[in-house]
């Protein structure tokens, strides 16, 4: 009998909370990993949702230190949160889609055994995605910081209203703008919120960042694509009468006030996303954006 050498030996499992469909897929995944004699580590919150005493249970923050692969069962939103939490550990992520479109979490639930088995046997490739990080200042005091895999958005709060701010790139003044907000997006985020806001689709391999005004009070404010090493400074004008917020991946909000400013730059650590060998960025675009049906049904 020839022993098969697996590419990963300690696999973490994280599932989106509050979904019976996720529970079903997590159970299926755990059973498959157990059959492959892989050491399984389950996030504490996920273990509470799917009780099983046979597996090691850890807080999410600890999983990056113990796992050489983490599988996320949920939608792209679930993967965004895990990415921010674990990117500093360098552990690769694999997504099983139990959400909507599934640009990042690409494996279908019915393909768990086949696709996860392929990955564990070494039939996969790694896409490296960079994140953005933001520091928010009030004067010379840092009042908040976070990171984002998709986008960082400066917006006018819970109710849509015009705000005024100034944008600098690499300490060079770009413009003053009246708009509902300003989005700074990674290539990963170019197929998410930025796409809905009229931004371009950027291939994930490109080292580029999209600057996208949100409903600007001028017809000449257009999306701007700059190099990935650019540093952005966004200054909220003192004339703004209401507080605003800086949102990271629409999951983390940092309140800001008139006169505050934010500095955004590329995060040094890269996220490693694992895909089966058959994955194609362009095939994903055709499927998710329904391009094929507009070409006479061509597959």
> For 58-72, what is each residue's pLDDT tens digit?
999 999 999 999 999
Catalytic residue among 76, 180, 249, 260: 76
- Mean pLDDT (whole number) for 170-180: 94
Active site residue 207: no
**In which residue ranges of the chain is CATH 3.40.50.10330 found?**
10-123+277-295
Residue 118 token pair: 């392929």
Decide: helix, strand or coil at residue 112. Answer: helix
Residue 200 vs residue 37, higher pLDDT: 200
Longest dimension (CA), the chain: 75
Local confidence band at 186 (pLDDT 50, 70, 90 cut-offs): very high
Q: Which CATH superfamily is domain 131-268 in?
A: Probable inorganic polyphosphate/atp-NAD kinase; domain 2 (2.60.200.30)
Q: What is the pLDDT of residue 291?
A: 79
What CATH number belongs to 10-123+277-295? Answer: 3.40.50.10330
DSSP conformational letter for 149: S
pLDDT in tens, 263-288: 999 999 999 999 999 888 898 888 88
Rounded alpha-carbon distances, angstroms, from residue 264 to 62, 71, 249, 261 = 27, 29, 14, 10
pLDDT of residue 31: 93
Instruction: Say if residue 50's pLDDT is above 90.
Output: no
Tokens of 40: 């399984």
**Cα–Cα distance between 35 and 208 in angstroms, integer?**
42
Of 118, 126, 93, 129, residue with least CA distance to 13 = 93
Note whether 225 and 199 are within 8 A (CB): no
The pLDDT confidence band at residue 293, using thresholds 50, 70 and 90, is low
Q: Across residues 182-188, what is the average pLDDT?
A: 97
């Amino acid at each position: 009998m020839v022993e098969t050498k697996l590419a990963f030996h300690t696999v973490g499992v994280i599932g989106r909370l509050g979904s019976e469909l996720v529970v079903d897929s997590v159970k299926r995944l755990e059973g498959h990993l157990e059959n492959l004699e892989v050491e399984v580590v389950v996030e504490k919150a996920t273990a509470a949702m799917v009780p099983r005493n046979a597996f090691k249970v850890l807080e999410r923050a600890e999983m990056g230190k113990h796992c050489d692969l983490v599988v996320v069962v949920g939608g792209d939103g679930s993967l965004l949160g895990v990415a921010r939490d674990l990117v500093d550990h360098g552990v690769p992520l694999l997504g099983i889609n139990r959400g909507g479109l599934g640009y990042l979490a690409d494996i279908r639930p019915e393909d768990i055994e086949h696709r996860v088995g392929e990955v564990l046997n070494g039939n996969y490739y790694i896409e490296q995605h960079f994140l953005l990080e933001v520091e928010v200042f009030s004067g010379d005091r840092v009042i908040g910081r976070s990171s984002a895999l998709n986008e960082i958005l400066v917006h006018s709060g819970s109710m849509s209203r015009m705000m005024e701010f100034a944008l600098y790139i690499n300490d060079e003044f770009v413009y003053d703008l009246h708009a509902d907000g300003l989005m700074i997006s990674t290539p990963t985020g170019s197929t998410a919120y930025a796409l809905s806001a009229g931004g371009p689709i950027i291939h994930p391999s490109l080292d580029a960042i999209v600057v996208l005004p949100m409903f600007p009070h001028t017809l000449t404010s257009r999306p701007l694509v700059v190099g990935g090493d650019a540093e952005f400074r966004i200054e909220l004008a003192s004339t703004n009468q209401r507080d605003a917020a800086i949102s990271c991946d629409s999951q983390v909000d940092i309140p800001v006030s008139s006169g505050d400013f934010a500095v955004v730059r590329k995060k040094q650590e890269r996220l490693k996303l694992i895909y089966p060998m058959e994955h194609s960025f362009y095939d994903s675009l055709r499927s998710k954006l329904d391009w094929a049906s507009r070409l006479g049904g061509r597959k």
